[in-house]
Chain A
Amino acid sequence: MDKKRLVMVRRDKLPMYLRILNPIIFLIVALAFSGIFIIMQGFNPVTVYIKMFGEAFGSASGLSASIVMGIPLMMCGLGVSIAFKMNLNNIGAEGQFAMGAMASTGFILFGPKLPGALQIPMMIIIATATGAAWALIAAIAKAYWNVNETIITLMMNYVALLLLNYLCYGPWKDGSGLNLPYTKKIPATAYMSNLGGTGISIGFIIAIVAAVIMYWFFNYTTAGFQISVIKNSMNAARYAGINVKKNIMTVLLLSGALSGMTGAIQVCGSIHRLQPTISNNAGFTAIVIAYLSKFNPLVVILVSIFFGGLAKGSFTVQTQGVPAQIATMIQGSILIFILVGEIFIKYRFARVGQHESINKAE
């Protein structure tokens, strides 16, 4: 008797329906998996999900709120994607975001007075530069001394968040009013205007423009092509005469710059002051978003809106006693199950006999 065994066979081509169906199926599996823990906490996952997604996407105002929550995710997601595109694990978006927020708020509150029209552009420039500067240490260490950038960028997060805490509880605290860890509000002239009639700030437009530029850069320019060569093989890139050091520096600084810019957009666009929760985990969520989007900038925008909705929904169910951490848990399980699902994209499973060749089984 020929014993049959289960083998993984690499797919030659992928049917279109699978490419679309696969992520949807595993998204549902991830939600079902998270549902187990929701039940364990004594809630009904079906009602929780209906409430969450209904609130986030069921109405125009809900969708608008989801987009608002998605804007920082988009910007950080784009920033993170740039680095991941080159296999550089910049997981420091959270800190770069916070630094951008601190620098731009500090400038507008305590810096030289600027005419109203210049305030927002200046804040954005300052935040962008600060974000890049915050990535500089990791960039130099990686490019010149080949030190693991993952851990350095992460450690820089803790330093930035502690500094943010210090400023909000200490010297920058708004002495008047409720004794809360906030700075004063920024002047109304530095508020970003909203898109006609909605609650969505023009930060959304900035994110979309950034995504389109990035898409063009990676698909239609030589510099963008060089990055994908370096991703595939650093040695091949060196032999081809690509300056790897310079590219590492550029990519990590750009990545930090985009996350830093998020800080000013969030301050001008929605929070209007500095507070310890300004970044609200966006820099970490951005990592999940970048992977789920396969670093495609246009997909980053869509996934960010979905995750923004998840966050919005989690705040809604929080009022019924469901911990808001439900959002992070779902994000993590989505990433895990999408990874599992990718196996079915790359491979198919076939039963073959012991002595049969795999090719015959096709």
Chain B
Amino acid sequence: MTIFIAILASTIIVATSILYATVGEIFAQLAGIMNLGLEGIMLMGAVTGYLGVMQTHSLGLALLYAIFTGVLMGVAYAFLTVTLQTDQVVSGLAMMTFGTGLSGFIGKPVVSVAANMAFGDIAIPGLSSIPVIGPILFDQNILVYIMYFIIPLSLYYIYRTRYGLLLRALGENPAALDAAGYNVYAMRYGYVIFGCTMTAIGGAFISLAYTNFWNEGMTGGKGWIAVALVIFASWNPLTAVWGALLFGGVSILGNYIQMIVPGVPSQIIGMLPYVLTILVLILSTGSFRKKHIDVPASICIPYDRENR
């Protein structure tokens, strides 16, 4: 039973790290801007968060470091894709390369240097003593609790508010919004920056609340899995939660398989999440499915007033 609880509690940790990036990217893609550079931004969030805690010995300030990094990279990406209207696939891959390189470069001095500081679990009085559910859901770190609020809030925002309606219109028909007097460019800047900031927080989550160390390329494709989850979830944050939990579960279960069947090499087990992502992506988006997927119509198409 304790193993069962431990597996599920860790599943939530892994899922949360991916969900920050996924939710952020859902907003950016709904606004019509795809960002394939999540992996690089996540790494930058992870390294600046870790460097932050080394320098300031404060988790709050470390998180601010990561947020600031996310905002900066968001501004850069929005400048490329919204203002300069560059190709979003290339720009995303450029952000990935740059983020991977820069994070490895500035993080070199702290590779496998222990920070001795991490977001610790906070048991919520009362709720955490509920059998089974308590220790799984309510004995987590603060960033997990924040995610509990982000999911319903983002659902409410996207599907129930006027701003959410405008957001979805932004990705479907920006020209109509422009004609109605809204500033398409400013709105897209906002959502891209939000997406990048969330992604950077997801990265900081990994280095400060999950693995508690920094190493080059430590996100191990979580940024890409977040991109896959956005498509899998059809841009719905709640569906993304199930995807992230499935993914987190498989990653964690792998570690336990090794405890039960010691002969299985760790590398083979490590393949499971990636194989799962491929399978899920094919099964959930393959054209053999009857269900139609509503891709935001103007995704990857830069908005240009002159060509309206």
Contacts and interface: CB of A to CB of B under 8 A. Distances in A.
A146 B109 CA distance: 44
What secondary structure prevails in chain A residues at the interface with B?
Answer: helix
Contacts of A323: 104-105, 108
Interface in A106-130: none
A151 B80 CA distance: 22
Contacts of A8: 306
Nearest to B79: A340
A91 B103 CA distance: 20
A151 B224 contact: yes
Contacts, number: 151
A163 interface: yes
A300 B287 CA distance: 35
A151 B101 contact: no
B83 to A, nearest CB: 9
A251 B80 CA distance: 29
Contact of A148 (B96, B231, B268): B231
A159 B224 contact: no
Contacts of A242: none
A340 B91 CA distance: 10
Q: Counting chain B CB atoms within 10 Å of each CB, which of A151, A339, A343 scores highest?
A: A151
A339 B183 CA distance: 25
B277 interface: yes
Interface in B158-200: none
Nearest to B90: A291
A17 interface: no
Interface string B26-69: 00000000001000100000000000000000000000000000
Interface stretch (B3-11, B204-212, B236-244, B278-286): B278-286
Contacts of B89: 89, 150
B271 interface: yes
B278 A336 contact: no
A247 interface: no
A162 B108 contact: no
Interface in A144-168: 144-148, 150-152, 154-156, 158-159, 162-163, 165-166
A163 B267 contact: yes
A332 interface: yes
Interface in B86-136: 86-87, 89-91, 93-106, 108-109
A333 interface: yes
Nearest to A148: B231
Contact of A41 (B91, B105, B268, B271): B105
Contact of A166 (B98, B100, B228, B268): B268
A158 B271 contact: yes
Given A284-B97, A332-B100, A339-B90, A326 B288 contact: no
Contacts of A170: 265, 267
A148 B101 contact: no
Contacts of A330: 101
A89 B285 CA distance: 17
A219 interface: no
Contact of B97 (A137, A141, A288): A288
A134 to B, nearest CB: 12
A248 B102 CA distance: 34
B95 A325 contact: no
B275 interface: yes
B86 A339 contact: yes
Contacts of A37: 102, 105-106
A261 interface: no
B84 interface: yes
Interface size, A (range): 35 or more
B84 A159 contact: no
A240 interface: no
Contacts of B216: 325
A156 B281 CA distance: 13
A105 interface: no
B97 A155 contact: no
B262 interface: no
A228 interface: no
Contacts of B286: 141, 145-147
A159 B101 CA distance: 22
A255 interface: no
Contact of A335 (B97, B228, B265): B97
A75 interface: no
A96 to B, nearest CB: 15
Contact of A325 (B96, B105, B221, B278): B105
B227 interface: yes
Contacts of A350: none
Contact of B106 (A41, A148, A333, A335): A41
A162 B101 contact: no
Given A162-B268, A166-B267, A332-B94, A151 B281 contact: yes
A198 B271 CA distance: 41
Interface in B241-275: 265, 267-268, 270-271, 274-275
Nearest to B100: A328
A40 interface: yes
Given A148-B231, A166-B268, A332-B101, 11 more contacts: A41-B109, A137-B278, A141-B282, A151-B224, A155-B221, A323-B104, A325-B216, A329-B98, A335-B93, A336-B91, A342-B86
6 contacts: A144-B287, A326-B101, A328-B97, A330-B101, A331-B97, A339-B86
Interface of B: 36, 40, 76, 80, 84-87, 89-91, 93-106, 108-109, 216, 220-221, 224, 227-228, 231, 265, 267-268, 270-271, 274-275, 277-278, 281-282, 285-288, 306
